[in-house]
Amino acid sequence: RYGGLETIKIGEAEQESMKLFYNDGGVVYVNLNYLHLVKKYSSKEGITPSLSTLGSNDWSNTKKKTKKKIKEAARELIVLYAKRKAAQGFAFSEDSVWQKELEASFIYEDTPDQAKVTEEVKQDMHAVSPMDRLVCGDVGFGKTEVAVRAAFKAVQDGKQVAILVPTTILAEQHYNTFIDRLSQFPVKIAALSRFQTKAHQKEIVEQLAEAKVDIVIGTHRLLSKDIKFKDLGLLIIDEEHRFGVMVKEKLKALKVNVDTLTLTATPIPRTLNLSLLGARDLSLIVTPPPNRQPIYTIVSTFDMAKVKTWILNELHRNGQVYFVHDRVQSIEKFASYLQRFMPEIKIGIAHGQMKPAQLEEIIHGFLIRKFDVLLSTKIIESGIDIPNVNTMIINRADRFGLAELHQLRGRVGRSDRQAYAYFLIPSMEGINKKALRRLQAIEEFSEIGSGFNLAMRDLEIRGAGNLLGTEQSGFINDVGFDLFVKMINEAVEELKYEEFKEVFENLPKPQERTDPTIDAYFEIGIPTAFMPDQMDRLSFYTALFGIKKTNEIEEIKDEIIDRFGDLPVLVRRLMALAMLKYFASRALFERVIIQRKIVFLILPKGAKKDYYEFRFIEMMRYILENYKDRIKFQQQKDSMKLVIENRFESPEKTIEFLLKFSKEIAGLFKNLD
C-alpha cells in the first residue's frame, strides 16, 4: 500500500523515496531508481487486492503463475499466426474500376484512420498468406464501411463472403447497410437468421452451395453443419468476444485458409498494440467522423415533468428514445407509470429474461419504428446501432459503473444530430459520494473520443483479456491491469525471439537494454518548496526515470518550467541523472556508482557470454584508444567494472563526462534509438 514520499539518508546524501506498507506492518523504501517499476494497481471496479507479507513468496508466486498462463495463451495465438503465415491462401487482385466507384460513392469523407485501415486490409488481401486482421474502433466510427469494401473486393474475384454477427438484429442492420451500399453492382446478398422462414433459409443454404449467393450475413447459424460454401474467400466477424467457446473453436478451424477480418468496438489498450502485432495484425480507428457532435449530458433528479418534456422534444423532431430501467421485476410497472403521463406514446419493453426470439422481435419493432420509446435494462449496452435514436434517459444512474454509463451513452449520437443523455438520480443527498463523482466525471467528459480514461480503463481491461482469446480478467485482478499488460508484452517478445524465431526471422531484433541503478554521493530530487504537491513530485520522478526517448526529457522539462518556473539546481541535476540512466542502459551498464573520488561502472554478469565475446572486446579497444589514462578495468567476482578517477570539480561535471562516455559506448554498440 502506498504510504507517500519520505526523505531518507541514502549513503552520504538525503533523497526522497516512496514508502510502501506490507500486510504485517513491514515497510519498504523505494528509491528514485526503481520508481518506474512500481505500478498502481487497477482492476475492475469494486475489486480490492489483498496485501502480501514482507519476505513471503506470495507475490512472486502469483506473478510466476500469471506469467505462465499468459505465456500459454500468447503461445496459442502465435502458433495460429505461424500456421496462417505458412498456409497458402488466395491473393486478391488490385483495385478494379468498380472498387474505386464504390469507394467514391461513400457519402462521408474517409477519416485518416479509416483510409489507413482500408489500405491495411487491402494489402493483407493482396498477399498470398491468409489475412487475420482485427479492426478496433468505437461504434459508428466507420468499421462497417471497411468491411463493405473488403467484401466487395472478394466478390469481384469470384469468392464468397460470410459475415458472422452475434445477434439477429445486427444481422438485419448489416444486411440493410450492405444492400444500400452495393445496390449499384451485381452482387447477391442474403441474410440468414431467425427472421426468415424455414423455407427461405433452406433456399439460401442451397444457393450458398451453388455460389448463387455472394455475401451472406448471419448469426452462428452460419457455422451449422448444413452450410456449405462453394468458394469461401473472406470471413468477417463482428464482436468475436460475444460468441461462445464452441463457436470460437469452429472459427479457428475455418480461419486457417480463409482471409479473416474481425471488427470490435471494445477498446484495446494502446500499450498492447505493438507487442501483439507479432501475434495478430491490429488496426485502430480512433478519429470520430467529422460531423459528429458531442453528446449533451445532464445529471438530474427524477422529475416526471422534465422526463415528459425530454421525450416529447425528441419525438417532435421525429426521433426515438432509449429509456434504461435496470430492474426486470419493476419494468412493466414503470412502463405503465410512463404511459399514464404520456398516453400518446408507444412503448416497447426489452430485457434479458425474455426468450431470444421475443426480445429480437421487440428490438426489430423499435428499429422499424413501431415504438417511440424502448424501455429496457442495460442489455442495449452493446450491439444496437440505430441512428434515429438520439435521446437516452437512464433511471437510477447512480447504480451503474462508469464504463457502463459511457457504453450506454454511446448508443446515441450516431448521426449528425445533436444527441442528449439524461442521468436520473433520486436526490443529490440520497446517493453515495463515489456514485456522485462518477456522474460528475461523465457529465464533464461529453466530447467524442475525449480520452475518457476513467471509463476506458474498465473497457480496456475487457479488451486486453479478449485479445488473448480467453477471458483473462482473473489474472488482471491478481496482478493489476498495468502489470498484466507488461507481462503480455514480455511473453510475446520472449516467444517471438526464442521459440518462434524462424517465424519472425525478418523482424528486427529488439535492442538490448539494462535497467541500471545510479547511486550518487550528492543530493538530487525536487525540493518541496519548488513543487509542494507530493503527487506532482511522484509523477515527475516516475516519468523521468522511465523515459523511453531522449526528447521526453525536454517535454518533461518544458512542462515543469511552464507549471512551476525556472529549475533549481537539484532538479537540473535530477534531469541530467535521468538522461545518464537512459544512455547507461543502452551502453549496457548494470550500475553506476558515483563517489567523491571515484566512479564505478558495473558491467553485465559473466553469464552473459555474448556480451564478453563481442561487446566487451569492442569497448575495451575503444577505451584503450580514447581513454587509456582515465578509465581502468577491474575484475569483480562474477563480472567486470570500469573504474574512473573522479577529478571533476562539481557533480555536474562528473555527470557530463559520464553522459558523454555512455553515449559513445551506446553508439559503438549501435544501440541508440
Q: At what angle do helices 616-626 and 651-668 cross, to 10 degrees?
A: 130
Q: At what angle do helices 453-467 and 433-444 cross, to 10 degrees?
A: 90
pLDDT at 422: 95
pLDDT grade for 325, boundaries at 50, 70 and 90: very high
Out of 42, 58, 74, a domain closes at 58
User: What's the CATH number where 26 sits?
Assistant: 2.40.10.170
Are residue 278 and residue 131 in the same domain, yes or no?
Answer: yes
pLDDT, tens only, 183-202: 999 999 999 987 778 899 99
Q: What is the DSSP letter of 417?
A: S
pLDDT at 605: 83
Q: Which three cell numbers stand for residue 401?
A: 459503473
User: What is the three-class DSSP state of 560?
Assistant: helix
The Cα–Cα gap between 618 and 432 comes to 65
Q: Is residue 656 part of a domain?
A: yes
Report how far apart, in Å, the C-alpha atoms of 341 and of each of 318, 319, 366, 423, 579 are: 20, 19, 21, 20, 68
User: What is the three-class DSSP state of 566?
Assistant: coil
Ramachandran class of 240: left when φ > 0, alpha when ψ lies in -120 to 50, beta otherwise: alpha
Q: Which residue type, as a one-letter code, is found at position 605? A: K
Contact 497, 506 (CB under 8 A): no
pLDDT grade for 273, boundaries at 50, 70 and 90: very low
**DSSP structure string for 459-480:** HHHHHHHHHTTS--HHHHHHH-
Q: Is residue 82 part of a domain?
A: no
Residue 604's φ and ψ, nearest 5 degrees, are -60, 160
Are residue 531 and residue 644 in the same domain, yes or no?
Answer: yes
**DSSP structure string for 257-280:** TSEEEEEE-SPPPHHHHHHHTTTS
Contact 310, 427 (CB under 8 A): no
pLDDT at 445: 62
Q: Is residue 71 part of a domain?
A: no
Q: Which three cell numbers stand for residue 265?
A: 468496438
Contact 599, 592 (CB under 8 A): yes
Are residue 54 and residue 182 in the same domain, yes or no?
Answer: no
CB atoms within 10 A of CB 8: 11
Residues whose CB falls within 8 Å of the CB of residue 187, separated by 6 or more in sequence, listed in order: 152, 155, 214, 215
Asked whether residue 324 carries a pLDDT value surpassing 60, the answer given is yes
Are residue 230 and residue 330 in the same domain, yes or no?
Answer: no
Greatest CA separation for the chain? 96
Read off the pTM. 0.68
User: What's the CATH number where 663 sits?
Assistant: 3.90.1150.50
Range of the domain at 35: 2-58
CB atoms within 10 A of CB 133: 21
pLDDT, tens only, 593-618: 999 899 999 998 866 677 878 888 99
Q: What is the DSSP letter of 93?
A: P
Q: Which residue type, as a one-letter code, is found at position 342? A: M
**Alpha carbon of residue 580 to chain centroid:** 32
Are residue 11 and residue 153 in the same domain, yes or no?
Answer: no
Q: Is residue 465 part of a domain?
A: no
What is the sign, positive or negative, of the torsion defined by CA atoms of 499, 501, 503, 509?
A: positive
Are residue 278 and residue 304 in the same domain, yes or no?
Answer: no
Are residue 269 and residue 389 in the same domain, yes or no?
Answer: no
User: What's the CATH number where 342 sits?
Assistant: 3.40.50.300
pLDDT grade for 654, boundaries at 50, 70 and 90: very high
pLDDT grade for 484, boundaries at 50, 70 and 90: confident
Tell me which of 49 and 229 has the higher pLDDT: 229
User: What is the three-class DSSP state of 155?
Assistant: helix
Q: Is residue 234 part of a domain?
A: yes
Are residue 33 and residue 143 in the same domain, yes or no?
Answer: no
**What's the mean pLDDT in 413-437?**
82
**What's the mean pLDDT in 545-557?**
89
Q: Which residue type, as a one-letter code, is found at position 21? A: F
Are residue 341 and residue 265 in the same domain, yes or no?
Answer: no
Alpha-carbon torsion angle 522, 526, 527, 530, nearest 10 = 140
Pair type for strands 13-21 and 27-30? antiparallel
Asked whether residue 276 carries a pLDDT value surpassing 70, the answer given is no
Q: What is the DSSP letter of 669?
A: T
Are residue 244 and residue 339 in the same domain, yes or no?
Answer: no
**Alpha carbon of residue 62 to chain centroid:** 24
pLDDT, tens only, 111-167: 888 999 999 999 999 998 888 888 887 767 788 999 999 999 999 999 999 999 987
Asked whether residue 244 carries a pLDDT value surpassing 80, the answer given is no
Out of 58, 78, 100, a domain closes at 58
Are residue 160 and residue 263 in the same domain, yes or no?
Answer: yes
Q: Is residue 102 part of a domain?
A: yes
The Cα–Cα gap between 247 and 451 comes to 33
Q: Is residue 471 part of a domain?
A: no
Out of 389, 422, 447, a domain closes at 447
Q: Is residue 250 part of a domain?
A: yes
Tell me which of 496 and 451 has the higher pLDDT: 496
**What's the mean pLDDT in 209-214?**
93
Tell me which of 361 and 101 has the higher pLDDT: 101
CB atoms within 10 A of CB 105: 11
The Cα–Cα gap between 577 and 656 comes to 9
Q: How many domains does the chain have?
A: 4
pLDDT at 481: 72
Are residue 218 and residue 247 in the same domain, yes or no?
Answer: yes
Beta bridge partners of 133: 261, 281
Asked whether residue 463 carries a pLDDT value surpassing 70, the answer given is no
pLDDT at 153: 96
